[in-house]
Amino acid sequence: PLNNDDRNRLILGGLGVVSVIGFYLYIEMKGKEITWKDFLHNYLINGKVEKLEVVNKKFVRVKLNSEGYSDSNSFWFNIGSVDSFERNIENAQIDMNIEPQNFVPVIYKTELELSSFSSILPTILIIGFLMFMMKRSAEMM
């Protein structure tokens, strides 16, 4: 059986892992949802966009430059498809007479979604519980 020190370390370690994951998700997911029109008229046309991050081919995170800095400094909007987004952003910048070499950079990222983490969490908990029980039964013999 676990003594109090081992149990406390296990609890502390678990809380630490949950805290780190929670903090990471908070930092990555904070931001305000805007529409494509809001993005276009309030940020892109005014030159306030530093870069765009297409995340998991589902939404675009807008990173603002120093001219567009606000309390949130991060906005996002949903996209139908990557192809239509690329076509729309390129056409918008061409309409603004921006040279292709000066287009706002677009970065593609794959990030762990909270929904995918929550779907594997029960499996991880079951495996952890089984390992704990096996260790405990081995110590009793």
The answer to whether 63 and 50 have CB atoms below 8 angstroms apart is: yes
Same domain? For 58 and 17 the reply is: no
Same domain for 105 and 45, yes or no, is yes
- Confidence (pTM): 0.65
For residues 59 and 116, membership in a common domain is answered with no
**R_g (Cα) of the chain, nearest Å:** 23
The distance of Cα 111 from the centroid of its chain, to the nearest Å, equals: 5
**CATH number of the domain residue 51 falls in:** 3.40.1690.20
* Nearest alpha carbon to residue 70 among 32, 102, 21, 41: 32
Show the DSSP H helices in the chain as ranges. 4-29, 36-38, 82-95, 114-140
User: 130 and 74, same structural domain?
Assistant: no
Residues 10 and 69 in one domain: no
Q: Quote the CA–CA distance of 118 and 136 in Å, as a whole number.
A: 27
Report for 30-44, 64-78, 84-98, 123-137: range of highest mean pLDDT: 84-98
Identify the three-state secondary structure at position 46: coil
> What is the domain range of residue 116?
112-141
Number of neighbours of residue 29 by Cβ within 10 angstroms: 14
**In the prediction, which pLDDT does 73 show?**
60
What's residue 72's pLDDT? 59
Same domain flag for 55 and 89: yes
Co-location of 46 and 93 in the same domain: yes
pLDDT tens-digit map of 29-82: 667 889 999 999 999 999 999 999 999 999 999 999 888 666 556 789 999 999
